[in-house]
Amino acid sequence: MTQARQPSLGEVYHPFEDEQRENPYPFYKRAREQESVVYSPELEAWLVTRYNDIRSMLSHPEIFSSRDVTRPVTNLTPETREILQQGYPMVPNAISSDGFSHKRFREPYVHAYSSARSATYEQHIRETAEHLLDDIADAGTADVIGQFAYPLTMDTILYTMGIPLERMEDAKRWSRDLTVFLYSPLSPERQAECARSMVAFQHYMAELIEERRRERKADAISEMVHSQIAEAEPLSMNELVSALCGLVMAGHKTSIDLVGNGLVALLSTPSRWQELCLHPDLIPQTIEEILRYDSPVQALSRTTTCETTIGDVTLPAGVRVMAVFGSANRDAEQFAAPEDFDMQRDPNRHLAFGYGIHFCVGAPLARLEGRIAFEVLTQRFPRLRLVPDQQMVHNPILAFRGYRELLIAW
């Protein structure tokens, strides 16, 4: 009698299905312990799950290239490709380039989102957060994602970029469609819909770029247009459009998830929220633990440039490798009691913002947004709680981990 073949570990990885989408951590733990580098047929990529392996990968961009980070997870239809031709080509930008090319993009971002520059946005962010809570205070309940985290973080990124706030609804739709286009499996119809949205996004961004070429302002778009490194060619229109559309998307999405994921971790054990309300000085340290415990950025891809070995697995050139940050940040080799949420964890060398030359330039702004969000929430709603019996569902997005909505009451 022939015995049925047991599926390999990679074959049971299904990140878009309910069980693993809602809680991928048991799979990550199993992978770290049994087979730290596994091949996923569904993603056509190798998953790297251990902290030290991922940190080593990110330390060698000459071997693990970022060139395919923004390659969509599903194949594009001819109709979708035809629609995209009406916009600007999706050329490499800061997140998807290496070496000197990457430096061309990164330097203007560093100017725009340095710690000192980000600190100048504090008053605006705090006032926005207070106004948003004013709007919902009398209701006694709210979807904290849709009514607080989303508008707060989108307002912030538009403000720093100099994009008129009256375009917020357009920007929300465009950036949402760009996110799912890149990181979610889509039907042909939804692909085409997202492609049309992306083209509109690109043309609007091109208009803003031309405006900043004529008149420089104190915003991130102007930095990208004017603050180029001396020895480099100026960024082309295609490069600027690609970079700035990506900035809107990534510049708010991870901060939304930082707030949502953090509230679930804190409110699911009410004593944690009570402690934070009594000791607001713990907020910065708690934010670092939120970033580690339930990382907003779960995974990003790299592509091997030559034959290389990770752990005990040798990979050929040209294969896709996924650095699974969500797994690395719960690696027992790096973190004591990694499955526990510890508001005073120290040290906490998580990889939520990446590592090496691609370390997130927006980290100072994200930390500032998170600190302000939790400061105003703890001050205004010390009795905050999760609405019981709600179905908390995560977005089916490979790279990012966050909730569609989250009902809270006070």
The pLDDT of 233-240, averaged and rounded, is 94
pTM: 0.95
Place of tokens 């990181």: 183
Where does CATH 3.30.43.20 sit in the chain? 1-65+298-351
Instruction: Answer yes or no: are the C-beta atoms of 91 and 238 closer than 8 Å.
Output: yes
DSSP 383-401: T-EEPTT----B---SSB-
Q: Is the pLDDT of residue 329 over 90?
A: yes
CA separation, residue 134 to residues 110, 138, 263, 266 (Å):
34, 8, 19, 22
Gap between the Cα atoms of 26 and 327, Å rounded = 9
pLDDT band at 4, cuts 50/70/90?
very low
User: For the domain bounded by 76-90+103-292+360-410, which CATH number is listed?
Assistant: 1.10.630.10
Predicted pLDDT at 318: 97
Give the residue-averaged pLDDT of 233-258.
94
The secondary structure of the chain in percent helix, strand, coil, rounded to multiples of 5, reads 55, 10, 35
Q: In the CATH scheme, what is the code of domain 1-65+298-351? A: 3.30.43.20
* 3 state SS for 352-365: CCCCHHHCCCCHHH
Cβ pair 346, 285 in contact under 8 A: yes
Q: Which amino acid is present at 367?
A: R
Burial class of 25 by CB neighbour count within 10 A (0 to 12, 13 to 18, 19+):
middle
> Considering the chain, what percentage of its residues have pLDDT values greater than 90?
90
Ranges of CATH 1.10.630.10 domains, the chain: 76-90+103-292+360-410
pLDDT band at 7 (very low <50, low <70, confident <90, very high): low
Rounded to 10 degrees, the C-alpha dihedral 183/189/194/200 comes to 160
* Residue 215 pLDDT exceeds 70: yes
Confidence of residue 228 (pLDDT cuts 50, 70, 90): confident
Across the range 97-114, mean pLDDT stands at 91
Among 334, 169, 157, 186, CA closest to 245: 157
Overall size of the chain counted in residues: 410
Distance CA 402, CA 396 (A): 9
Residue 1 pLDDT class (50, 70, 90 cuts): very low
Average pLDDT over residues 120-124: 98
* 155-192 residue pLDDT tens: 999 999 999 999 999 999 999 999 999 999 999 999 99
Mean pLDDT, rounded, for 374-384 = 98
Whole-number pLDDT of residue 6: 54
- So what's the pLDDT on residue 55? 98
- Mean pLDDT (the chain) is 95
Sign of CA dihedral 169, 175, 177, 180: negative
Instruction: Provide the pLDDT for residue 33.
Output: 96
Cα-based distances in Å from 173 to 70, 200, 233? 19, 11, 32
